[in-house]
Amino acid sequence: MADCVRSSTSGQSSSADNMTSLARALSHTALSQLDQTEVFQSQSSLSRVGQGRRRAISSSQSLDSLDVSPSSEARVLVINTGGTIGMMYHNNVLCPEPNALVKALRKLPILHDEQYAQQTRLYEFYEHAENTLVLPNPSHHADELFHGLSKQNKRIMYTVIEYSPLLDSCNMTTDDWATIGKDIEKHYEKYDGFVILHGTDTMAYTASALSFMCEHLGKPVILTGSQVPIYEMRNDGRDNLLGALLIAGQFVIPEVCLYFHHKLYRGNRVTKVDAGSFNAFSSPNLPALANAEVDIKINWDTVWRANTTVKFRINTQMNRNVGLLRLFPGITAETVRAFLQPPMEGIVLETYGSGNAPDNRADLLEEFRKATERGVIMVNCTQCLRGSVTTSYATGKALSDAGLVAGCDMTPEAALSKLSYVLAKKELTTQEKRKMLSRNLRGEMIADLEGAKLTLSDSRFIQVIAKSLSISCKEELEAIRDALCPTLACAAAKIGDIEALEAIREMGSNLSMADYDGRTPLHIAACEGHLKLVQYLLGQGATVYAKDRYGDTPLRNAIRFRYKDIVKLLRKTGAHLSWDEMEDAGTELCRLAACGDLEGLELWHLAGADVTMSSYSGQLPIEMAIQSGTDEVVQFLQWAAQYRTQPVFDENEENGEFIEFTARPEKS
């Protein structure tokens, strides 16, 4: 059986010199490509993917022109909460218009390709088909940069779900944030990314709140909207929605982001700065994560990644007893005292300059001190658009002495959301909450980010190449790094060389970057069975959702090569079979059952497959097992059918250790 083939593992040797590790990884004769058996299996997997829609395509259409393989399509869920983007005029004022957005999008060629949808019979195979659309492919052009916005060449299929009632963002509450979060969690395994349509007035608050509510996020969640309704002739809604869809469907950016006016920002770093401009948002203290110009350029060095092996979850518990208090000259102690009275549990104090307040106002400082002693937590944030809170001035140190927590360079929106999130953790003491507020949880404040301990110019490896190519400028050095490091990282992953990967990471390289076949180091490590390397990569924020050119994820690779512990670890981290892999699972399960392959069935069940799924011909795995006369397989399938969604790991277990899991029933 092709899927039963194991590739041989290579031992890991140690070396103290980074150049030696890199040289060994580069020169290893068997590293430039995977074993031929693996390539063959991947290609055969590709031929089976998407069989449902492939079989349904009219025989008069060429499969080459209508590629529905998993590597050519991505699914995005659009959650329409309301906002200006979907408003219409009623009685000379803008109001949310229900049940109108999808109808309008279908009429816009840049946002829906009706011909492709009909030819591939899209509406017959998608849930919520009446609200499902597909972006067109860019037209062929001699200049690749001409259509750089969709350089990945993926078809973005997107489904729109609409809230009722639609809201002006001014009416948003923490309950609405919880609803959005629960919808993301509900559909998390069905889609590659999420776009949230939202009004601009409180978009920065929602983006900040969701960034904390989404724990261990591994997929992009992008908020967007517009200043002018999408139904108007001249508007910014079309470009904002298109850009958000392209990024959410093509790039694995595991953050809550905000996309506006051709820029992708970290959600908890933005603030609205202009009420009447298309360029309405700014990220004062952090550069944009991406710029959508002629090409979409992702600043991967800035992307925040979870470094845990814990599954994604939504925390909807937010403390509402928080507030914003802005200092101004002459503010009275009575005003501050009234603001700090119960039930207030925490405030964000917006101070002058770099976190300063009058140190000659003993009455004000006394109110702050008393509130701190009562357990009220106060975060010190600057009123300035840019800059950070410090204790360089006596007026700033006075607030620190009064018990305020320094908010560094957080925006007021981020500080308020973080305070609400932390205060809701009832299991923590007040001191533990204060410490948590001081930590960088989601990239919301300045931090010494791990990454380029060695600059590009310090790397001897890069120096040699740069000298031979007569290159000296930073941009060209970065281009060399980005071109070579993914292949080197995959080469090092094949032999399990963590030392070489660490050297590559210290050059500033992103260990989630893919090689020419779309394969990441995590793909290779999963194929080769290097458990410790998989743990290392996950600890560095490697994504479990990346797909190679054949549509395979690291989880699918671990199943194919029968590495049970790696399947466990990936599942614990949140990996799941993609929608196209699940579509093909029934046929694969039937094949394994017919062969009496109990180990293969156990691994698919461990990975989350439903063993009651039918094949493309309508047969069930248990029927195939009965026909083949393998009683042990029949017994397993009967047992597994009763526990289709049995969790593999204890949800409360976060220490990284495995919990033993037996995928077969105990013999009586």
Q: Is 80 exceeded by the pLDDT of residue 545?
A: yes
Q: What is the pLDDT of residues 368-423, one digit of tens each?
A: 999 999 999 999 999 999 999 987 787 788 999 999 999 999 999 999 999 999 99
The enclosing H or E element of 65 equals: none
Q: What is the pLDDT of residues 427-463, one digit of tens each?
A: 999 999 999 999 999 999 986 434 334 444 445 555 5
Instruction: Write down the pLDDT at residue 391.
Output: 79
CATH architecture, domain defined by 323-438:
3-Layer(aba) Sandwich (3.40)
Q: Is 90 exceeded by the pLDDT of residue 12?
A: no
Measured CA distances, 576 to 46, 312, 553 (Å) = 18, 11, 9
The enclosing H or E element of 51 equals: helix 51-56
CATH 3.40.50.40 domain locations along the chain? 323-438
Instruction: Write down the pLDDT at residue 255.
Output: 97
Instruction: Write down the pLDDT at residue 3.
Output: 43
Extract the tokens encoding 505.
């990471």
Nearest to 425 by CA among 372, 377, 379: 377
Catalytic amino acids? 200
Pairing of strands 256-260, 132-134: unpaired
- Give dist(CA 555, CA 200) in Å, integer: 38
pLDDT band at 32 (very low <50, low <70, confident <90, very high): very low
Instruction: Write down the pLDDT at residue 59.
Output: 42
Q: Is 70 exceeded by the pLDDT of residue 468?
A: no
Over range 151-163, report the average pLDDT.
87
- Give dist(CA 314, CA 216) in Å, integer: 9
Please give the mean pLDDT across all residues of the chain: 84
Instruction: Write down the pLDDT at residue 654.
Output: 45
Instruction: Write down the pLDDT at residue 41.
Output: 42
Angle in degrees, CA 559, 563, 190, rounded to 5 = 35
CATH number among 3.50.50.60, 3.40.50.1170, 3.60.130.10, 3.20.20.70, domain 70-311: 3.40.50.1170
Residue 308, classified by CB atoms within 10 Å of its CB into exposed (0-12), middle (13-18) or buried (19+), is: middle
pLDDT-above-90 percentage for the chain: 69
Instruction: Write down the pLDDT at residue 104.
Output: 97
The letter for the amino acid at 646 is: Q
Instruction: Write down the pLDDT at residue 31.
Output: 37
Q: Show Cβ contacts of residue 485 under 8 Å, excluding neighbours closer than 6 positions.
A: 504, 507, 509, 513
CATH 3.40.50.1170 domain locations along the chain? 70-311
Residue whose entry in the numeric block shows the structure tokens 């989880």: 555
Instruction: Write down the pLDDT at residue 463.
Output: 56
- Give dist(CA 199, CA 635) in Å, integer: 54
Buried-state track 265-297, b at ≥16 Cβ within 10 A, e below 16: bbbbbbbbeeeeeeebbbbebbebbbebeeebe
Over range 556-566, report the average pLDDT.
96
Torsion, Cα of 332, 338, 341, 346 (10° steps): -60
Measured CA distances, 125 to 36, 53, 121 (Å) = 34, 7, 7
Q: Show Cβ contacts of residue 459 under 8 Å, excluding neighbours closer than 6 positions.
A: 507
Q: Are 568 and 607 contacting, i.e. CB atoms less than 8 angstroms apart?
A: no
47-51, 232-236, 557-561: the lowest-pLDDT one: 47-51
> Where would I find the H helices in 151-269?
174-186, 203-213, 237-250
56-60, 472-476, 517-521: the lowest-pLDDT one: 56-60
Count of positions (residues) in the chain: 668
DSSP per residue, 89-153: EETTEEEE-TT-HHHHHHT-TTT--HHHHHHTTGGGSSTTGGGEEEPPPPPP-SSGGGGGGGTT-
Instruction: Write down the pLDDT at residue 140.
Output: 52
Angle at which helices 460-468 and 18-27 cross, to 10°: 60
- Give dist(CA 262, CA 291) in Å, integer: 6
Q: Are 380 and 282 contacting, i.e. CB atoms less than 8 angstroms apart?
A: no
Instruction: Write down the pLDDT at residue 471.
Output: 60
pLDDT band at 644 (very low <50, low <70, confident <90, very high): low
HSE-up (13 A, CA, CB side) for residue 293: 5
- Give dist(CA 403, CA 418) in Å, integer: 18
